[in-house]
Amino acid sequence: MYWKYFVRRILYAVMILAITVFVFSALFSTVAEQVLRAQIIEQVNAEALTLARQRTSLDPNAAQVFREYRTQQLIRRHSLDQPMAVRVVKRTLDALTLQLGNSTQIKSAAGETDVMTIIAERIPRTLLLFGVVAVIDIVAGVWLGMRKARQAGKLMDRSTDIVTMIVFGLPTWWLGMLLIMVFAFAIPIFPSGAMHASPPPESSLGYFLDLMYHLVLPVFTLVILGFWGRAYITRNIVLSTLQEDFIMSARARGLSERRILFGHTLRAAAPPIVTMSLLALLGSVGGALIFEGIFSWPGLGNLYWVAVQQNDIPVLMGNLTVTTALYIGGLAFLDLIYGFLDPRVKVGGKA
């Protein structure tokens, strides 16, 4: 039965993505078309120039005819002569099939202007950073959350609660700036940003160690702010699980408190803890986009900074599409895990 749920959830994600991308396409239709027209004119000019160089005897009239013909051809190819509704639908379909057009300024490492190539080379870097953060964050958060739940209402619980509230509105990127100032300027023991020393070390071990060295400060910043929230969620879920009947029966059977906590409670509470934590992390990806810019970590978030600075609209919109797709994919993935761990979810799904 799980595969039915699986297919349904995936289809649902695709549908939501399609709606979202359609809204984006409609919203940014004017500006996207302006850029596209400018790009067409640029391309035709370049072609005309090459043509003039190849055939010096070319009649200026013929050159003009070529320009007009070629411009019309390109406009037709990009459907710019179609009515508005058709254009928006076509752009939606293009975006969904990841044909994101060409950038105006930014180039990929190999010098290409294809937006998808530019974005694709950055995805693994973002995933690396946040993958590492997610693992450390959840392990530390669950550990602290269990301790808090064991001593709920006691000093340890209350004091860590206060820390949770203090860091609640704290911008991660500001803490990043602060830590760079401390650990890269005042006590220069860590690099101030980027993913590698330049030039990166040759040997693969050196490369790996260098990468780890550059990961320390950003990961530390994100975890030190994030895991309190995870601990708070864990504590609350564990505490509400402790109210359940099967815990009472376990207590009645005289099981040790430790067994009840780690054997029964944590096992029952694990699915919501994991999904809630991942959900919260996914939600914090937004803020973390800014964060990459502070550490000049060359991922998707940093690409927003670069694209805003250089006013590269196609990259900006392509990046938005890809980020949204990753986000929606992440949500679907979480639901699938949850449905796998907790069979009740896939049956009804009524709140």
Partner 1 sequence: MKGARFSGLRRFWDEYRQVKSGLIGIGLLVVFILIVLLEPVALPYRQANERWRDINYWQDSPRLALPVWVNWFTSKDYPRSTVISEPKREEVATGTLRVITMEVPYEFTSGHPPSDLYYKLYLTGRASIAFEFIRPDGEKVELRRSTAVDGAQILRLSAIETLQERAYALGAKYEDPNVAKSRNPRMIDTMGVLFGQAARGIFIKPAILDGTYRMRIQVALVNEQSQLNKAEFVVLGGVSGILGTDGDRRDLWCGFIAGTKWALLIGLLTSLISVVVGVVYGVAAGYFGGWIDALMNRIFEVVLSIPLLPILIVMSAVFNPSIWIIIAMMCLFFWVGPVKTVRSMALQIKEHSYIEAAKALGASHRRILFRHMIPQLIPYSFASMALSVPGAILYEASISLIGLGDPTIVSWGQVLRDAFSSGAVLQGIWWWIIPPGVAIALMGMTFAFIGFAMDTILNPKLKTR
Residue 65 touches partner 1, criterion: CB under 8 A: no
Q: Shortest distance, CB of residue 308 to partner 1, whole angstroms?
A: 5
Q: Could you give the CA distance from residue 173 to residue 218 in angstroms, rounded to a whole number?
A: 9
Among 45, 73, 240, 256, binds partner 1 (CB under 8 A): 240
Q: Shortest distance, CB of residue 28 to partner 1, whole angstroms?
A: 6
Among 16, 48, 211, 345, binds partner 1 (CB under 8 A): 16
Q: Which stretch binds partner 1 (CB under 8 A): 21-29, 40-48, 68-76, 97-105?
A: 21-29
Among 7, 62, 178, 189, binds partner 1 (CB under 8 A): 178
Binding-site size, partner 1 (CB under 8 A): 60
Rounded to the nearest 10 degrees, what angle do helices 172-180 and 266-294 cross at?
Answer: 60
Could you count the other beta carbons within 10 Å of the beta carbon of residue 329?
14
Residue 86 touches partner 1, criterion: CB under 8 A: no
Contact call for residues 264 and 250 (beta carbons, < 8 A)? yes
Pick the closer one to partner 1 by CB: 74 or 299.
299
CA 291 to chain centre: 12
Residue 304 touches partner 1, criterion: CB under 8 A: yes
Name, in order, each residue with C-beta under 8 angstroms of 107's C-beta and a sequence gap of 6 or more: 113, 118
**Based on the number of CB atoms within 10 Å of its own CB, is 128 exposed (0-12), middle (13-18) or buried (19 or more)?**
middle
Residue 278 touches partner 1, criterion: CB under 8 A: no
Q: Shortest distance, CB of residue 12 to partner 1, whole angstroms?
A: 9
Pick the closer one to partner 1 by CB: 44 or 225.
225
Which residues on adjacent β-strands are paired with residue 293? none
Nearest to 16 by CA among 335, 285, 332: 332
Phi and psi at residue 148, in whole multiples of 5°? Answer: -65, -40
Q: Could you give the CA distance from residue 234 to residue 17 in angstroms, rounded to a whole number?
A: 31
Residue 133 touches partner 1, criterion: CB under 8 A: no
Q: Could you give the CA distance from residue 167 to residue 225 in angstroms, rounded to a whole number?
A: 6
Q: Binding residues for partner 1, per CB under 8 A?
A: 16, 19-20, 24, 27-28, 31, 149, 152-153, 161-162, 164-171, 173-175, 177-178, 180-181, 184-186, 192, 236, 239-240, 242-243, 285-287, 289-290, 293-294, 304-305, 307-309, 311, 313, 316-317, 319-320, 323-324, 327-328, 331, 351
